[in-house]
Amino acid sequence: EVQLVESGGGLLQPGESLRLSCAASGFSFSRYAMNWVRQAPGKGLEWVSGLNGLGGSRYYADSVRGRFTISRDNSKNTLFLQMNGLTVEDTAVYYCAKGDDYDASPSDHWGQGTLVTVSS
């Protein structure tokens, strides 16, 4: 059974940094793309970042490019999102999502999300 468990969320002040983690199990982690998708309170889904199975290709939304860095440790089946220079607009539930292929692909499994709140 595929499982994705996010961790690392919390309450921060503007300008601070945070690293989210997503522990994956139940599938061959390095064979699949992974994504981060966020959802601000009461709002829709926003794709944030993704990378392919070996992590050689990384992609970002314009809203986070230059501030966020996605990475993965395939030896530990873990996905990361390093978030720097946080703003109140980054407040959201952050979901880790597994692609159904090595690169660009729909997300066929999702974690339950971790809440990041940025407030002064």
Partner 1 sequence: EIVLTQSPGTLSLSPGERATLSCRASQGVTSRYLAWYQQKPGQAPRLLIYGASSRATGIPDRFSGSGSGTDFTLTITSLEPEDFAVYYCQQYASPPPWTFGQGTKVEFK
Residues contributing to the site for partner 1 (CB under 8 A): 35, 37, 44-47, 50, 59-62, 95, 100, 104-113
Determine contact, residues 83/18, Cβ cutoff 8 Å: yes
Nearer to partner 1, 29 or 94 (CB): 94
Q: Smallest gap, in angstroms, from Cβ of residue 45 to partner 1?
A: 4
Work out the burial of residue 30: count CB atoms within 10 Å of its CB; fewer than 13 is exposed, 13-18 middle, 19 or more buried.
Answer: middle
Q: Smallest gap, in angstroms, from Cβ of residue 71 to partner 1?
A: 16
Q: Smallest gap, in angstroms, from Cβ of residue 58 to partner 1?
A: 10
> What tokens were used for 90?
């980054």
Strands 10-12 vs 114-118: parallel, antiparallel or unpaired: parallel
Nearer to partner 1, 20 or 37 (CB): 37
Nearer to partner 1, 91 or 103 (CB): 103
Measure the CA–CA gap between 95 and 79, rounded to whole angstroms: 11
User: Which residues are bridge partners to 59 per DSSP?
Assistant: 50
Nearer to partner 1, 67 or 109 (CB): 109
Q: Smallest gap, in angstroms, from Cβ of residue 51 to partner 1?
A: 10
Measure the CA–CA gap between 12 and 53, rounded to whole angstroms: 31
